[in-house]
Amino acid sequence: MLGYPNGGKSNVSEKDARQQHPQFIETLEKGIRVLEIFRDGQPSLGLTELADACEMTKSAAQRFTHTWCELGYLAKDERSRRYSLTHKALELGFLYLNASPLISRALPALKLIRERCNLTVNLSVLSGHDIVYVMRIPGPNQTHAEMLPGRRMPAWCTSAGRVLLADLPPSRVQTSLAQVTPVAYTAQTEVDREVLFERVQEAGRNGYALTRDQVLVGQVGIAAPIRNVHFQVVAAINITAQLSAWPVEKVEQELVPLLMEVSQAVSIG
């Protein structure tokens, strides 16, 4: 039995640990939080909504929003008095995509997989307890959200997340699972932490992860790691498909060998 203290809750939050560092600038963190609050997909927010969501006073929120507006990252509708992100926030993402060696070296691999199977192919990295899709090549019939890079998903329920977690020491995997509250996306979503821990270890043993019906009913996902020259996992490539067209046996026979072959050929310096 795995031990999860306090019923799976951490004694010291990551936020508290960060703030204890002498070089941590708390004011800067609060300002960034104002931008990140749009992560949930709200097109616009009022000042009171922002203040409440960011857990700060209304006057503090007003100063931060004014600064972001002056810098061009937020725009204020003078009639509704609501704030929204501008294209300048997207420009930061472009700077990352344009400069990242990971993107430039992995993109040909993603294209190759897409050409061979005509399915959605993603590249993701681990960010805290989540994964972030940094590059996406959509397959047919994808939704708007599934086409966009930058989307964040829990690591514990995704094939890519399990592959990325598998490179961590078991104690760190256990800590990560203890600090999240798994919520079922479907009736088949696995939420028991001991089961999830074993799924991560299984991904490490197999060299790939396979999930079905974990986030969307009828969807199967497989993921394999990308390693650097020191054999450390730095990213994951995953393929998603519909179970109606790609039952698990077919995925294991056709997609897993393709994914393993291509992902192992990518090395990040």
The pLDDT, as a whole number, for residue 8 is 44
* Residues 159 and 258 reside in one and the same domain: yes
In a domain, 125, yes or no: yes
The pLDDT, as a whole number, for residue 13 is 58
Task: State the total domains in the chain.
Answer: 2
pLDDT in tens, 212-258: 999 999 999 999 999 999 999 999 999 999 999 999 999 999 999 99
In a domain, 95, yes or no: no
Confidence of residue 41 (pLDDT cuts 50, 70, 90): confident
Confidence of residue 126 (pLDDT cuts 50, 70, 90): very high
Alpha helices in 207-247 (DSSP H): none
Residue type, 92: L
Q: Which residue has the tokens 């990325």?
A: 164
* Residues 119 and 232 reside in one and the same domain: yes
Q: What is the CATH number of the domain that holds 156?
A: 3.30.450.40
* Residues 86 and 121 reside in one and the same domain: no
In a domain, 206, yes or no: yes
In a domain, 19, yes or no: yes
| Domain containing residue 26 | 13-90
* Residues 137 and 48 reside in one and the same domain: no
pTM for this prediction: 0.85
The pLDDT, as a whole number, for residue 1 is 42
Residue-wise burial string across 220-236, b where 16 or more C-beta atoms lie within 10 A, e elsewhere: bbbbbbbbeeeeebbbb
In a domain, 237, yes or no: yes
Is residue 4's pLDDT more than 80?
no
* Residues 72 and 120 reside in one and the same domain: no
Domain boundary (90, 115, 145) is at: 90
* Residues 123 and 170 reside in one and the same domain: yes
pLDDT in tens, 152-211: 999 999 999 999 999 999 999 999 999 999 999 999 999 999 999 999 999 999 999 999
Confidence of residue 269 (pLDDT cuts 50, 70, 90): low
pLDDT in tens, 56-68: 999 999 999 999 9
Residue 121 has what DSSP assignment? Answer: E
